[in-house]
Amino acid sequence: MDAASEARFTPEPSRLDSQYRAVRRKSLELVEPLSDADATVQSMPDASPAKWHLAHTSWFFETMVLQPYLHGYRVFDVRYNYLFNSYYDSVGARQPRPQRGVLTRPTLDVVRAYRAHVDDGIAALLRAGSAARALELIELGCHHEQQHQELLLTDILHLFAQNPLQPAYKAPEPLPTQAASGAAPQFLRFDGGIVEIGHDRRGFAFDSEGPRHRVLLEPFALADRLVTNREWMDFIDDGAYRNPLLWLSDGWARVQAQAWTMPLYWQHGEDGYRSMSLRGAQAVDPAAPVTHISAYEADAYARWAGKRLPGEAEWEHAADGIAISGNFADSGRLRPKPVGPGSGLQQMFGDVWEWTRSPFAPYPRFKPAAGAVGEYNGKFMSGQLVLRGGSCVTPAGHIRASYRNFFPPEARWQFSGLRLAEDL
């Protein structure tokens, strides 16, 4: 999920100082409900301990900003370059990703001290007057940390879902469920033609969002809302998880090998469907968007419904001009919410990341950034699919219509859902 920014503009130091402080403070707030044990355990190789997220984001600022740009900076602990490097081969060897959970030391308190040490360094750098490139990297680091804030929440949910006690990250306030309307989604028509997509270079963006370029779209239609849990229950009841004709070959192999029968975290009992959430186990809301599904499941559902997944260029073209507001992490809900009244495209931002059928590949004229930050995106442009729109655990202000999230098609632990599309 990491990404890097091209040098497009130089952020203003005082604004950047406020942004940096707010982002760093938010990360510490996210771990407040956690014990040291909660923050240390790793539930699967794709997830990371909360403590590791806190330390890695500090390592980023220390390695990419403070060491090259703050004269006389003293590294907090030289061993942390091994412990908290994520995948930067050019920086050095690192702790194997599946073994991050064995790092019982440093303790959570020591990690907090590490963060304070790095924060002091960044403050000194900003006071001293920083080079333009240093300011750009600090802003990149802020957005990088916001990505890890979202990952921290998704990883904690996965961890707590493995515990038979089903602990709640936040107070388990049961959210009221409501009956799904039963009305079929409406499909909004788009004429297609030559359109421009990609970031317009006004404000921050990761390098994979550009360069802005033209694409040719055939006429298409996009559903006005996301697929709901009620609709997914119909998909299950129709035996879709047992029907190989609906699935891509790799997806059917996953269904069989991992015994998929419903979305991740769902359970079915006498009282219906329930799912694990950041507020503990709760009843599945039939009217809310389905989430925690893989791209394989999304594709199978679209085929079952006689539709398809949208391409990312279709999604971005449709989202152009829509206000970026929605159910993000800052709402405190931490679960998707039912679609509200309105017309046009609903819930394009927030609630759930929307799978597209587009591979995460470079745009025309894309070039990785120079230096270690060039390892952010380009090296991952293989075997991944693009998701759009953000989710209920995405920090507000972190999303754009051009934002390209990416995961392998089998990933389910993210807050990922789908919106249908069709050809005209």
Q: Whole-angstrom Cα distance, residue 420 to residue 146? A: 28
Q: Whole-angstrom Cα distance, residue 413 to residue 290? A: 13
- DSSP-derived pairing of the beta strands 385-388 and 405-407: antiparallel
The pLDDT tens digits for 157-190 are: 999 999 999 999 998 777 777 777 778 999 999 9
Res 8: pLDDT: 52
Terminal CA-CA length for the chain: 33
The pLDDT tens digits for 268-297 are: 999 999 999 999 999 999 999 999 999 999
Tell me which residue has tokens 């991740």: 264
Question: The whole model's pTM is what?
Answer: 0.95
Res 9: pLDDT: 61
**Paired tokens of 280:** 């503990």
Domain definitions of the chain by residue range: 13-161, 187-423
Q: Whole-angstrom Cα distance, residue 69 to residue 130? A: 8
Least confident range from 3-17, 69-83, 257-271: namely 3-17
Superfamily of domain 187-423: paralog of FGE (formylglycine-generating enzyme) (3.90.1580.10)
Q: Whole-angstrom Cα distance, residue 165 to residue 47? A: 20
Quick one: 391 exposed, middle or buried, by C-beta within 10 A (0-12, 13-18, 19+)?
A: buried
Determine contact, residues 47/158, Cβ cutoff 8 Å: yes
The pLDDT tens digits for 53-71 are: 999 999 999 999 999 999 9
- Quote the mean pLDDT of the chain: 94
Res 148: pLDDT: 98
Fold of the domain spanning 13-161: Four Helix Bundle (Hemerythrin (Met), subunit A) (1.20.120)
Q: Is the bond preceding residue 106 a cis peptide, omega within 30 degrees?
A: yes
**Paired tokens of 306:** 């006689």
Count of CB atoms situated within 10 Å of the CB of 171: 8
The pLDDT tens digits for 87-114 are: 898 999 999 999 999 999 999 999 999 9
The pLDDT tens digits for 381-404 are: 899 999 999 999 999 999 999 999
Residue 353 has pLDDT above 80, yes or no: yes
Task: Tell me the pLDDT band of 7, cut-offs 50, 70 and 90.
Answer: very low
Tell me which residue has tokens 């419904």: 305
Distances (CA, A) of 260 to 29, 242, 367, 393: 35, 9, 39, 24
Determine contact, residues 166/280, Cβ cutoff 8 Å: yes
Quick one: 29 exposed, middle or buried, by C-beta within 10 A (0-12, 13-18, 19+)?
A: exposed
What is the chain's Cα-based Rg? 22
Q: If DSSP states are collapsed to H, E and C, what string results for the chain?
A: CCCCCCCCCCCCHHHHHHHHHHHHHHHHHHHCCCCCCCCCCCCCCCCCCHHHHHHHHHHHHHHHHHHHHCCCCCCCCCCHHHHCCCCCCCCCCCCCHHHHHHCCCCCHHHHHHHHHHHHHHHHHHHHHCCCHHHHHHHHHHHHHHHHHHHHHHHHHHHHHHCCCCCCCCCCCCCCCCCCCCCCCCCEEEECCEEEEECCCCCCCCCHHHCCCEEEEECCEEEECCCCEHHHHHHHHHCCHHHCHHHCCHHHHHHHHHHCCCCCCCEEEECCEEEEEECCEEEECCCCCECCCCCHHHHHHHHHHCCCECCCHHHHHHHHCCCCCCCCCHHHCCCCCCCCCCCCCCCCCCCCCEEEEEEECCCCCCCCCCCCHHHHCCHHHCCCCEEEECCCCCCCCCCCCCCCCEEECCCCCCCCEECCCEEEC
Residue 347 has pLDDT above 60, yes or no: yes
Q: What is the largest CA-CA distance in the chain?
A: 66
Residue 34 has pLDDT above 80, yes or no: yes
